[in-house]
Amino acid sequence: MLLVLDVGNTTTVIGIYDGETLVKHWRLMSERHTSDELGIYLLNLLDICGIPRASIDGAIYSSVVPSLDMALSEGLREYLSVDPVKVTPSLDLGIEIAYSPRHEVGADRLVNSVAGKARYGAPLIVVDFGTAITLDILNSEGAYLGGTISPGLVTGMEALFGRTAKLPQVSLEPPKSVIGNNTIGSIQAGILFGNAGLVDFLVRKTWDELGCRTPVAATGGHAAAIASISETITAVDPWLTLEGLRLIHERNRPR
């Protein structure tokens, strides 16, 4: 079985693959831990699900939090006896990277693009709703061009609530109307419709530059909520990043 981990600024998404099938997945907070803590944490997750430690024969991770990388790698080696593959632009990803400098592109963006190309073909736009909202673009030849980075929904909410004394914190549920008739509805409308509008505008501008309409695949914690009101998102794929990690490991696993 393969252990895949996507370490983000806010959350870490973990999955277990048996061949090509995702059999377990978890979404946890990204917090700084020692290698021992991370190793024991992973062992506990496996134990809860009845997965023997010895059944894990490979691991791969992408990370945008460098301070966690060493502890994670050491924890995987010590407690699961696997030497993890770390996603970097220097790996065999199966896509051309037309981004300069290459080392600056986030590993998660490359992983999403690899999975997106495999599932939806190219050209393609992948939208990831995380701490940031990223749009990643593949041209008709399947090359990774780059894209856009904007503040994520929760990031925007935290900025709003942190600088206003009277506004209540709200859940991110799509409102029925863009015209909020109370404070909670007004905040929800502003955040949900506002971010859907942001994505739709960026997608249309990208289509103009590419000279064609592409599929738009959305992933991340708030993908479904935004897709329900977006005019351009064509697919919601909540575990796209995990699938990308599996595909990259397939190309780069130790022989």
Just give the CATH number of 96-245. 3.30.420.40
Question: Which two three-digit tokens encode residue 174?
Answer: 């799509």
Q: Per the annotation, where are the binding residues for ATP?
A: 6-13, 131
In 3D, which of 204, 210, 76 has the Cα closest to residue 139? Answer: 210
Other CB atoms closer than 10 Å to residue 255's CB: what's the count? 3
Q: Where are the domains of the chain?
A: 2-86, 96-245
Dmax of the chain from CA atoms? 61
Q: Say whether the peptide bond before residue 84 is cis (omega within 30 degrees of 0).
A: no
**Sign of the alpha-carbon torsion through 209, 153, 117, 96:** positive
Please identify every stretch of the chain with a pLDDT value under 70, giving residue numbers as ranges. 165-166, 255
Tell me, what's the pLDDT at 224?
Answer: 96
Tell me, what's the pLDDT at 165?
Answer: 65
Tell me, what's the pLDDT at 158?
Answer: 85
Sheet of 124-129: strand order equals 144-151, 132-138, 124-129, 216-220, 235-236
**What are the counts of helices (DSSP H) followed by strands (DSSP E) for the chain?**
7, 10
Contact 114, 247 (CB under 8 A): yes
The distance of Cα 245 from the centroid of its chain, to the nearest Å, equals 11
pLDDT tens digits for 9-59? Answer: 889 999 999 999 999 999 888 888 899 999 999 999 999 999 999 999 999
pTM over the 0.85 mark: yes
Q: Per the annotation, where are the binding residues for substrate?
A: 99, 106-109, 183
Residues designated as active site: 108
Q: Per the annotation, where are the binding residues for K(+)?
A: 128
Is 3.30.420.40 the CATH classification of the domain at 2-86? yes
